[in-house]
Structure 1
Amino acid sequence: MLFILLLSSWNGVELYRIYHLLKKKQLLFDDHFTLVICMTITMLTSFLFSMYLILLFPGFYGASLLFGTWSGWNFGKLLRNPAQLNGLYNGAIGGAMGTMLGAVLQNPALCRIPVESAAAMDLAAIPFAAACFYACILLSIRYSLRM
């Protein structure tokens, strides 16, 4: 539980930094570049934090879906009007996928994973790998925004 909180706070700080960097440099890039970056961040953010929410609070499926939609809306605001729906859509889809992965990590029998394999699954390895992947993606986005 503490490990998941540490991972989510680490990823939350990185997300906060990249959001303000994107907001500050919003007018320096064309719409297509901003759309690709916002789609990537929105999908991964809603996926990862929805998974964290389900692992921390097992019964709150609706809250994780709402968080995904909310994060999509916030990153969609960086785009022009027609593309805001794209952020909302990606946030909702990422939230749903993160909710499903978190539910499967808690109860592997949902996907008919055998008990022998479920016992061998390390609950902390998958969120840690996801957090490292998320940090690498945010670092590559920060690298692409340098000027």
Structure 2
Amino acid sequence: MILITLLFIWSVMGFLRTYHTFKQKQVIFDDHFTMTICMMTTMASSFVFGLYVTFLLPDFQMVSILFGVWIGWKIGSELRNPAKLNGLYNGTMGGIMGTMLGAVIQNPDLCNIPIESETMIAGNTYGIAFFAACLYTLILIFIQYSFRV
């Protein structure tokens, strides 16, 4: 659990850095770039945060979905008007998908996946959490790179 908590903190710090960049450079993009960045950031952030919240608090799955809605609303409201609804939608979908993946990883019987032992479930949990952190960091690097003018 400590590794998952550290990966969650790492992802939150990356999100806050990207959000700060949004606030600084919100006037320089056109609507197409705004929609693309909003969609990518909200979907990836809410998916990863939904996954981590489901791993850390498995009994509170609704919290991870609401966290995704909040992320979508926050990012969408920082950008221009067309991005608000796009951010809300993608944040909700990412939160739901992260919650579903986290629930299936912790209880593989939901999808009839044959897992023999608890150590396999723990290994899958840590493997998916580490992979999600690496992929999310890569996505945030690409987003930060796209803000260079």
The CA deviation at 1:117 is: 8.3
Q: How many residues align?
A: 147
Structure 1 ranges of 4+ moved more than 4 A: none
Deviations 1:61-114 (A, max 9, x none): 111111010000001102333431111010111110001011011111111001
Letter in 1 for 2:71: S
Query: What secondary structure is seen at the aligned counterpart in 1 of 2:148?
Result: coil
In the alignment, the residues of structure 2 paired with residue 67 and residue 131 of structure 1 have an alpha-carbon distance, to the nearest angstrom, of 17
Whether contact under 8 Å (1:73, 1:84) holds in the other structure is: yes
2:9 counterpart residue number: 9
TM-score for the superposition, normalised by structure 1: 0.94
Whether contact under 8 Å (2:46, 2:92) holds in the other structure is: yes
Letter in 1 for 2:6: L
Structure 2 unaligned residues grouped into runs of 5+: none
Q: Which of residues 139, 142, 145 in structure 1 aligns to 2:141?
A: 139
2:131 counterpart residue number: 129
Percent of aligned pairs with the same amino acid = 54
Whether contact under 8 Å (1:50, 1:67) holds in the other structure is: yes
1:70 counterpart residue number: 70
Whether contact under 8 Å (1:31, 1:79) holds in the other structure is: no
Query: What secondary structure is seen at the aligned counterpart in 2 of 1:35?
Result: helix
Task: Supply the RMSD in Å over aligned alpha carbons.
Answer: 1.5
Letter in 1 for 2:21: L
In the alignment, the residues of structure 1 paired with residue 143 and residue 82 of structure 2 have an alpha-carbon distance, to the nearest angstrom, of 23
In the alignment, the residues of structure 1 paired with residue 147 and residue 137 of structure 2 have an alpha-carbon distance, to the nearest angstrom, of 15
In the alignment, the residues of structure 2 paired with residue 139 and residue 100 of structure 1 have an alpha-carbon distance, to the nearest angstrom, of 26
In the alignment, the residues of structure 1 paired with residue 60 and residue 99 of structure 2 have an alpha-carbon distance, to the nearest angstrom, of 9
In the alignment, the residues of structure 1 paired with residue 76 and residue 66 of structure 2 have an alpha-carbon distance, to the nearest angstrom, of 15
Structure 1 unaligned residues grouped into runs of 5+: none
2:95 counterpart residue number: 95
